[in-house]
Structure 1
Amino acid sequence: MRWHPALYGHHAGLRGRPFMDLVGRIGHDAPRSVVDLGCGPGDLTEMLAIRWPDAAVRGIDASRDMIDAAGHRPPMPNLSFEAGDLRHYEPGGDDVVVTNAALQWVPGHQDLLAAWAEGLSAGGWLAMQVPGNFSAPSHTLLRLHAANERWKDRLHGVLRHDDAVGEPPEYLHILLSAGLEADVWETTYQQVLQGEDAVLDWMRGAGLRPILDALSAEEGGEFEAGYGELLRAAYPRSGHGTVFGFRRLFAVGYRAA
């Protein structure tokens, strides 16, 4: 899937807040090695390098566009980026493993998370965050629109939101079963977005990417026009902006030394 770092970064402050809440629960004082799996354009990975200046921090992402964007960041002596598929990551060599808003793109990621948890070294921390808003109007309307007569043949199988993530008890069970101390929670951020078609603009950065990848530019514009109409009815704009509920799921595990 083709990513557009500038589009994704348009709401960087709001998208980054769950990351900060996630890593705030990591209790390691002086890790030697930190990895960010699915690092995107690297702005949040940079926060890890600032927090742990004596650690070797690296970001890994399957998108060459994202890695190229990360490579244009001001250099830091303890920070590096590389292209790679997080499904091939092998745990055990890093003191802190972070994956933020990435695992929802990986079918069957629960098995992957379990393997990472099992392989976590003594004293290590594993922290993940995924969206939990696939039943929100933004996503249910996306699936509904993609399934209508105009689009159902072109977009069959493109979206897999129904099974993209688990629920908090499932992630808790995975971490506890691997022998980790676990902290699992969820948060719904009530975000106020600004501008015309604010929710559509938000969705262009991530949730709409598979759709727009599958369609031509002209078709994508047509799809967005119909989807945007549905979103405007579901998320009415007020004098304050457009309120957009943003549910996120968090899980942090620690293996006692």
Structure 2
Amino acid sequence: MWDPGKYLDYADLRARPFYDLVSRIGAASPRRVVDLGCGPGNLTVSLRERWPSAVLECGDSSPEMVTAARSRGLDATVLDVRDWTPAPDTDVVVSNAVLQWVPDHASLLRRWAASLPSGAYLAVQVPGNFNAPSHALTRQLAASPAWSSRLADVVLREDDAVSTPLGYANLLADAGCEVDAWETTYVQPLRGENPVLEWITGTALRPVRAALADAEWDRFRAELAPLLASAYPVRADGTTWFEFRRVFFVARVSAAPSR
């Protein structure tokens, strides 16, 4: 279960990669714009504002997120991106911080590129920080004797959850696209008590939360908090710097892709 309220903590910082991604889309008057993994819809509404004449299609795997998106006036649907197929008039597809949850999404990207019309844009952003202390320490604690039996079936993503900009560039170029791929490490200023823990609670820790009872969840967080505090010290001014690497690509279908 996703918690839209928790996800919207640090909403401005979470939004920045989305805007950096979408700013590189060159579509002038797309017929249909699709947001796959729209979350609570707070960013999807900007697509409607940019392309008001386009049909706006959006969805998310979380019913809670879809409810939040609908409260913003979006016609959002519950969907699994693995089952989605582009309509013939789809000119822009945006997928922001979604595909890291999808194993073997390379095959999904090939299928989408093969199904989109010539000139369509496929814009994707995924986190690339799975070797960062925030994730490494979580995996370390989950594998410790105190927790390994309770969390044995929980999959915590490793660095191979996503590819590199070069990997995605080669993948989409082979699929018949012109590709703009890059990565950015954002040095994010966080504030408050245990800010890195609060940040990952809304995203990376979801599988742990789902596996634990309330009391166990509180204990896991209590044990993880000092580990993260040591890795991400608080400055004298109260700021905690949180480095977050993200991987981007914008692919434009330019020819019939090879099959």
Residue aligning to 1:114? 110
CA contact (8 A) 1:143 1:159 kept: no
Shift of 1:160: 3.6
Say whether residues 1:250 and 2:245 are aligned partners. no
Say whether residues 1:105 and 2:95 are aligned partners. no
Query: Which residues of structure 1 form unaligned runs of 5+?
Result: none
Over the aligned positions, Cα root-mean-square deviation in angstroms equals 1.1
Write out per-residue CA displacement over residues 153-201 of structure 1, whole angstroms, 9 at most, x where no aligned residue.
1111312412311122211111101110000000000001011101001
- Rounded to whole Å, the distance in 1 between the matches of 2:246 and 2:218 is 29
Q: Note the 1:32-181 alignment, pairs <5 A.
A: 32-73=31-72, 75=73, 79-93=74-88, 94-162=90-158, 163-181=160-178
State the 4+ residue runs in structure 1 displaced beyond 3 angstroms.
Answer: none
Residue aligning to 2:231? 234
Shift of 1:72: 1.1
- Percent sequence identity is 50
Compute the TM-score of the two structures, normalised by the length of structure 2.
Answer: 0.95
- Rounded to whole Å, the distance in 2 between the matches of 1:71 and 1:104 is 24
Write out per-residue CA displacement over residues 99-120 of structure 1, whole angstroms, 9 at most, x where no aligned residue.
0000011111111112112222
CA contact (8 A) 2:156 2:207 kept: no
Q: Note the 1:204-243 alignment, pairs <5 A.
A: 204-240=201-237, 241-243=239-241
Counting matched residue pairs gives: 252
Shift of 1:87: 0.6
- Rounded to whole Å, the distance in 2 between the matches of 1:141 and 1:177 is 37
CA contact (8 A) 1:137 1:234 kept: yes
Q: Match of 1:144, SS?
A: helix
Query: Which residues of structure 2 form unaligned runs of 5+?
Result: none
Greater Cα offset, 228-237 or 117-126:
117-126
CA contact (8 A) 1:92 1:121 kept: no
